[in-house]
Chain A
């Protein structure tokens, strides 16, 4: 069984229905650790050693966060800047993250049509998250396309929220139990484009 670390970042999580729901869906799972950055480091003083050993102890690292101005909330950037040290995460001696699975679980306002070349956001989610793909590459991690819940600005119905939460739970369980076809998943646009096709049935 893989161990999963969810690095969670939402500055006003009590007011985000979808992020609360996604989080609640995986919180009780065995072998899943939630690391809430804004709660642990309200003053942004990140404990580098603690974060590094958390990463070392887990096999899958998921960054769960909303997309603000086409980027994760600022504390994620702070985390990357501080925790991914040379000689630990990258460089000739930096092998700590090697082979671990990297995934972003993103919620964003616009729907899929806005994140297109001719949409109002002019870039795709894949393009906007490319720095994270590059980061995973440099750290020799196994990058997966993001789990994306889009179009939340139109307001999601209770059912829709429930559906996405359930999908998230399924994906996380599959990652944990090793039933997710990693190679196949890599070729999709989003991890949750078609979960059924990439989760092997036992």
Chain B
């Protein structure tokens, strides 16, 4: 136990020290983790023992990441992106595999060459997505292309896992890696195995589509956050176990579950609950990659590994450039696209491991290849840096034009916090104006009802930073606060101001005091919840009393304008004593009455006469 805690401490401390330094130096967190790994690894300070074990455990971070990727991909979005995914992704994987296989054929038997080709065609989802996100490139058009290719690769892993065992040429020594956990389905007859596999996939679909909602609702109703986290983790871990026991990839299972749940109102809550675990596991995974760099081997075969790395990056880069040109990317876009995806990926570790246990590839082939993949991953953040240096010096003034293009492309991103009485109409209004906000509400029953009406509402506590993040605060343009509880609104405003200072905020205040509190926080767009309806009703009342409708409308507008104008003044007074606040309030009310009376009693004829008199006199 103590040694476990000590190991954990080493990992966490290394991350905590290395990542901020790397970020400070503009290297990105991934590079920070990798360097931390090298430092604490067997060839650095030698502080950690069983890297293989750690890496194997933290591979689970990749499974979680795929769950999260699935969550972000609604079936409809997946369908929309089918061309880049299948086209670019398919072309990249196919061509890279063929070329690498072709080269490997010189040295290896064909089965092994095919396996190496397939495995090395993959890029690093973890490093690339993390880096893109950090650099804010996810929603740009090269960002989307890169994501499409990565997604295709993630999907391609699944058939690869299925195909690889057929390429086996070496006697298998099963080390129990993929042995079943619950029961051994290989003892069943073949047709039963297929039925079991189909049933388990169906059960994921069923669980996600039908069973998850009532379960999550019950859990949400408890309002105990840990339970939701526990349920979310149980879901992901459970699916992984199920998949492993029927011989499928856990990544496939969780990805599938993610896609099925992408339409669920609990999506953002799930995302924000799994995210930290994924982040931590992936971080440690990166550290273990850094630590696993076998410097002795690299030292011994420096030329071979350097050659392999250069060839790997070079040929993949070439394929990507060609793919980019075929899909008519601009030059700048294409160079980012090619540089981002030219490395080997973490799936290579998984698949190499898998090939070893299935007797596809011998150890002496795998060892240098794994080193080459790890080095290529290690080099990726540097390639990004080089790209940035190069592109910013080469094209300075083109930048602004491109930026506005991108904004135009992504549209407005709005988060609507609170979907109660106020939020519902507000949301309807925005939707009818063509703006689709991400709507978050913390009342599970309410969410359920509105969901039935066809609103895209998510369950969750928006005053939590992780949920705000999951709702897309980093990329959003505007946050609308339609929460009645001023305490929550204040918390949200503070949170958003601290972490997302770029976010514009428009807020609802339940009354005048709340409005003042929000003004204290520097919010300028504030609407008092009942003010608008009060004035509208007042206007109706005047009309029913026989006021001219236009007059009633005008009086309402005068009142609204004046009242809004006096808000800042009253706000200033609020911090003085109550007495002067009240007297100020009364003074303003009197002024207002006078003003409105003036408007009502204006004698048009008098004015007309005066006007004519003035004119005719001259």
Contacts and interface: CB of A to CB of B under 8 A. Distances in A.
Given A42-B553, A120-B615, A14 B609 contact: no
A16 B551 CA distance: 14
Contact of B548 (A13, A114, A153): A13
Given A153-B611, A155-B609, A15 B603 contact: yes
Most A CB contacts (10 A, CB to CB) among B554, B602, B608, B616 go to B608
A12 B609 contact: no
Given A11-B550, A38-B549, A42-B549, A153 B602 contact: no
B364 interface: no
A152 B608 contact: yes
The interface size bin for chain B is 10 to 19
Nearest to A17: B605
A14 B551 contact: yes
B184 to A, nearest CB: 73
B612 interface: yes
A12 B612 contact: no
A120 B612 CA distance: 10
Interface string A64-95: 00000000000000000000000000000000
Given A15-B602, A15-B604, A120-B616, A109 B550 contact: no
A109 B548 contact: no
Interface in B586-613: 602-605, 608-609, 611-612
Contacts of A120: 615-616
B348 interface: no
A105 B554 CA distance: 26
A39 B548 contact: yes
A13 B608 CA distance: 14
A12 B605 contact: no
Nearest to B603: A15
A109 B612 contact: yes
B552 interface: yes
A16 to B, nearest CB: 6
B11 to A, nearest CB: 64
B550 A38 contact: yes
Interface in B537-569: 548-554
A126 interface: no
Nearest to B616: A120
Given A15-B602, A120-B615, A42 B608 contact: no
A153 B609 contact: yes
A188 interface: no
Nearest to A152: B608
B94 to A, nearest CB: 55
Contacts of A11: 550
A22 to B, nearest CB: 15
Interface in A40-67: 40, 42-43
Contacts of A17: 605
Contact of B602 (A12, A110, A114): A12
A109 B602 contact: no
A39 B608 contact: no
Contacts of B616: 114, 120
B553 A43 contact: yes
Given A12-B604, A42-B553, A43-B553, A110 B548 contact: no
Nearest to B615: A120
Contacts of A13: 548
Nearest to A40: B549
Interface in A1-18: 11-17
Contacts of A152: 605, 608
A40 B543 CA distance: 12
B546 to A, nearest CB: 9
A70 to B, nearest CB: 12
Contacts of B549: 38-40, 42
Contact of A109 (B551, B552, B608): B608
A110 B605 contact: no
Contacts of B550: 11, 38-39, 42
A153 B553 contact: no
B560 to A, nearest CB: 13
Interface string A18-42: 0000000000000000000011101
A153 B608 contact: yes
Contact of A16 (B552, B554, B604): B604
Contacts of A42: 549-550, 552-554
Contacts of A155: 605, 609
Contact of B551 (A12, A40, A114, A154): A12
A33 to B, nearest CB: 18
Interface of A: 11-17, 38-40, 42-43, 109-110, 114, 120, 152-155
The list of the 8 closest CB pairs from A to B, nearest first, reads A42-B553, A38-B550, A153-B612, A39-B549, A42-B550, A15-B604, A153-B608, A42-B549
24 contacts: A12-B551, A12-B602, A12-B604, A14-B548, A15-B605, A38-B549, A39-B549, A39-B550, A40-B549, A42-B550, A42-B552, A42-B554, A43-B553, A109-B608, A109-B611, A114-B616, A120-B616, A152-B605, A152-B608, A153-B609, A153-B611, A153-B612, A154-B609, A155-B609
